[in-house]
Amino acid sequence: MLCYLTVVEARRKVIRVCEVRTEMTTVSSAKYFMFLCLSVLLFSVYLISTSERTPSVAPDLLYDFNMKYLLFWTPRSEHSPFTPMLEGVQEFVKHNCEYQNCFLTANRSYFESITKFDALLFHGKELSVAETTETLPKSRSPKQKYIFATIESAHNYPMCDPIYDGFFNWTWTYRLDSDVRWGYLTVLDMQGQVVGPKADMSWRQMNETIDDEVREQLKMKSKAVAWLVSHCQTRSFRELYALDLRENLSALDLDLDIYGACEGSQSCPRSHDCDRKLKNYYFYLAFENSFSVDYVTEKVLNAMDNFAVPIVFGDANYSRFLPPGSYINAKDMSPEQLADTISNLISNSSQYEEFFRWRRFYRIVETTSNVDVCNLCATMNDKRKFMSESVYRNFREWWNNKDQKCPDRRKLIWKNTFT
């Protein structure tokens, strides 16, 4: 093979070899060998002539058939999760992925045709807010995978245009039924093995009492409920529930302390000092800003990392994500009932401690970016999956909330206040 030689260098080597071999052979065999050498020489000349007619391509742009080429189609805007990803294979090398033969680029001219790419990545948020679909690819290969990717909730960013039905082959999202999961949290057993979340999650029995280390952490509790919030107006209307809850807690001489940028809240910069404050609270509001299937964000970790009981508020089946008996679901009760529950648990330490039995058996951690990225490349290398036909023919029905109204880009109008 002429892998690391130019065609001209190869021709010179052929001539030198032919000259040496000719001196070592008989006349008849020399004629035969010279004929063979001339044939190789003529083929080399042909390669030179064709290379002169072919547009020059830099060595790093040559197609490697073992490489999986992925194109970022949507813009890598400031808040796009694509933006921090390194181009080329470096993103997968950085995370020490099992598969590192995936090549990321935002350069649409990397090949002479976009149909050469193995997959195109589309950020859902960018598509959802786009005013036109004219920017979508004009040509497509049946061998390509069009991948819908997002960590934003469907409630906040629905896909409303009918063009997206039958458009995507794969999904890379927080939903557990995605082709590749791009989540916020991971469930580990005490050996460090990933055991969840998943749709058919099976939790072990957790009857043992908490250990002394956890009990010492719980002795630090002196305040009722905390909420660290950045979005003051949300589609889930969580702020309205929180205001009602605070009023009911106040009637029981308990406080809901709200930290963040909203009017009427206290300042608590996202730092270790803020974390130390949260350790003083029995409960933490892990309220999602929107309701979508499987949409469970890092908010529950704000509670669990600080030995507080998360009070969840979302549209997920939380039994897929969190151990039973480790949380309270605010959607199962009114603000008044929740306030009574909080008051009773604070007064009964043994019942409160039961919320932490899971810590003997599991760890709930933030999903690191290497897991998400490595899973993508691993899926690209799954030959059976890649070669099989897969199209989301009713994509909007799969992605959008059942009660989603499209389009709905109007701003929410209620007052931005917690007073």
- pLDDT tens digits along 240-282: 999 999 999 999 999 999 988 776 667 776 666 777 789 999 9
Residues 6 or more apart whose CB falls under 8 angstroms from that of 415 comprise none
Does 278 lie in the same domain as 224?
yes
Whether residue 413 is contained in a domain is answered as: no
Does 75 lie in the same domain as 208?
no
Higher pLDDT, 19 or 378: 378
pLDDT at 209 over 60: yes
Does 285 lie in the same domain as 139?
no
Does 352 lie in the same domain as 242?
yes
3-state DSSP assignment of residue 266: strand
Report the alpha-carbon distance of residue 339 to residue 252 in Å, rounded: 8
Does 194 lie in the same domain as 296?
yes
pLDDT confidence bin for 126, thresholds 50/70/90: very high
Whether residue 18 is contained in a domain is answered as: yes
Q: Any alpha helices (H) in 356-410, and if so which ranges? A: 369-380, 383-387, 395-399
pLDDT at 418 over 60: no
Asked if 309 contacts 232 with a C-beta cutoff of 8 angstroms, the reply is no
pLDDT confidence bin for 319, thresholds 50/70/90: very high
**What pLDDT does 166 receive?**
97
Whether residue 408 is contained in a domain is answered as: no
Does 344 lie in the same domain as 213?
yes
The share of the chain scoring above pLDDT 70, in percent, equals 79
3-state DSSP assignment of residue 33: helix
Tokens read off for 38: 């001339």
Give how many domains the chain has, as a whole number.
3
pLDDT tens readout for residues 371-403: 889 999 999 999 999 999 999 999 999 999 887
Does 162 lie in the same domain as 34?
no
Does 175 lie in the same domain as 123?
yes
Element (DSSP H or E) covering residue 304: helix 299-304
Q: Which domain holds residue 198?
A: 185-366
pLDDT at 19 over 50: no
| Residue in 96, 69, 71 with CA at minimum distance from that of residue 374 | 96
**What pLDDT does 13 receive?**
45
CA 286-287-293 angle, 5° bins: 105
CATH number of the domain residue 212 falls in:
3.40.50.11660
Whether residue 407 is contained in a domain is answered as: no
pLDDT tens readout for residues 323-368: 999 999 999 999 999 999 999 999 999 999 999 999 999 999 998 7
| Burial of residue 79 (number of CB atoms within 10 Å: 0-12, 13-18, 19+) | exposed
**What pLDDT does 339 receive?**
98
Does 270 lie in the same domain as 153?
no
Higher pLDDT, 368 or 192: 192
Q: Any alpha helices (H) in 95-137, and if so which ranges? A: 124-129
pLDDT tens readout for residues 65-107: 789 999 999 988 777 788 889 999 999 999 999 999 999 999 9
Whether residue 31 is contained in a domain is answered as: yes
Of the given ranges (22-31, 208-217, 272-281, 339-348), which has the lowest mean pLDDT? Answer: 22-31
Whether residue 410 is contained in a domain is answered as: no
**What pLDDT does 338 receive?**
98
**What pLDDT does 286 receive?**
96
Report the alpha-carbon distance of residue 103 to residue 76 in Å, rounded: 16
**What pLDDT does 129 receive?**
87
Asked if 362 contacts 80 with a C-beta cutoff of 8 angstroms, the reply is no
Whether residue 404 is contained in a domain is answered as: no
Does 94 lie in the same domain as 16?
no
Report the alpha-carbon distance of residue 273 to residue 267 in Å, rounded: 11
Does 299 lie in the same domain as 158?
no
Tokens read off for 232: 């003051």
pTM across the whole model = 0.78
Asked if 385 contacts 231 with a C-beta cutoff of 8 angstroms, the reply is no
Element (DSSP H or E) covering residue 93: helix 90-94
Does 22 lie in the same domain as 72?
no
Report the alpha-carbon distance of residue 37 to residue 20 in Å, rounded: 12
Whether residue 377 is contained in a domain is answered as: no
